[in-house]
């Protein structure tokens, strides 16, 4: 994350938009904003995420879910640095860095005619490949600590948690088809199931993880010490991002 923390834009806004979480009919207005009367319910002018991120950074998550028509409008923004709010004929200039993420294979989507090739190359200037959790299991203790710390911070009534060595072994043996989100959900469940106790045990984990066997993959990553992992001594992956 060095390009964010050391960027000349770091003092300005970082605005995120999950393209897959908003209906297609509303996504354009959410991105570009709208003027009063542009559609039913548009009772006033509203800034979109692009304007909100002016001089800063706009993060587009799941950009591969955008419709072809919206892809074309985004391409124009990247090329011309201007756009129109929905229902407006006036162009608005914008200075924004765009970061896009997806779990889809955009190159394959281009080959299949599902994603614009010109937009793909405009977005693919500095690609960053993040391997799935199953390919970087040495990061699981770091992620577990981060999720536990965040759950405690967000819920003051939640007591600090440790995790048993056997439970951590199960987490590191599991293949995580749902990637980081599945790991986060598993930790949230474990915290709820271990209410009243200070330690998460195997029985607090989802059943599919409880049944995970320590495999060759698990033995190839950082081995667990016999005394287990001291989560208090593990730095959060978010605090040391670079």
Please name the residue that has the structure tokens 């209906």: 23
239 inside domain: no
Domain boundary among 102, 123, 144: 123
Whether residues 68 and 44 share a domain: the answer is: yes
**Quick one: 42 and 74 in the same domain?**
yes
* pLDDT averages per 10-residue partition of the chain, 242 residues: 69 93 89 81 83 95 94 95 88 94 93 96 92 93 94 83 92 93 95 90 94 56 53 50 38
In a domain, 7, yes or no: yes
pTM given for the model: 0.71
Please indicate, yes or no, if residue 128 is contained in any of the structural domains: no
Instruction: Output the pLDDT for position 223.
Output: 54
Predicted local distance difference test score (pLDDT) of residue 127: 92
The total number of structural domains that make up the chain: 2
Q: Indicate whether 110 and 201 sit together in one domain.
A: no
Whether 138 and 102 map to the same domain: the answer is: no
Q: What is the pLDDT of residue 95?
A: 95
Nearest to 105 by CA among 69, 64, 61: 64
* 227 in the same domain as 140: yes
CA distance 43 to 31: 18
Beta bridge partners of 167: none
Give the pLDDT of residue 230: 57
Taking a C-beta distance cutoff of 8 angstroms, is the pair 138, 222 a contact?
yes
Residues 100 and 13 in one domain: yes
Residue 206: inside a domain: yes
Angle, vertex CA 94, rays to CA 89 and CA 96, nearest 5: 145
Same domain, 155 and 221: yes
Question: What local confidence, expressed as pLDDT, does residue 239 receive?
Answer: 43
């Amino acid at each position: 994350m060095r390009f964010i923390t050391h960027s000349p834009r770091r003092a300005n806004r970082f605005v995120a938009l999950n393209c897959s979480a908003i209906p297609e009919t509303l996504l354009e207005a959410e991105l570009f904003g709208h003027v009063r009367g542009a559609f039913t319910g548009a009772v006033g002018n509203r800034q979109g995420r692009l304007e909100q991120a002016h001089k800063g950074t706009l993060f587009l998550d799941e950009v591969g879910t955008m419709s072809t028509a919206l892809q074309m409008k985004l391409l124009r923004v990247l090329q011309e640095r201007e756009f129109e709010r929905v229902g407006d004929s006036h162009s608005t200039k914008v200075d924004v860095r765009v970061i896009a993420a997806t779990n889809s294979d955009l190159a394959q989507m281009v080959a299949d005619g599902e994603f614009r090739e010109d937009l793909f190359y405009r977005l693919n200037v500095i690609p960053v490949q993040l391997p799935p959790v199953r390919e970087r299991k040495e990061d699981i203790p770091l992620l577990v600590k981060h999720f536990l710390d965040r759950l405690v911070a967000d819920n003051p009534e939640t007591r600090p948690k440790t995790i048993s060595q056997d439970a951590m072994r199960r987490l590191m043996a599991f293949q995580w088809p749902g990637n980081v989100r599945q790991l986060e959900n598993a930790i949230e469940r474990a915290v709820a199931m271990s209410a009243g106790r200070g330690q998460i045990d195997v029985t607090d984990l989802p059943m599919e993880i409880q049944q995970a066997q320590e495999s060759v993959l698990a033995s190839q990553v950082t081995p667990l010490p016999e005394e287990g992992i001291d989560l208090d001594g593990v730095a959060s992956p978010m605090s040391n991002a670079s």
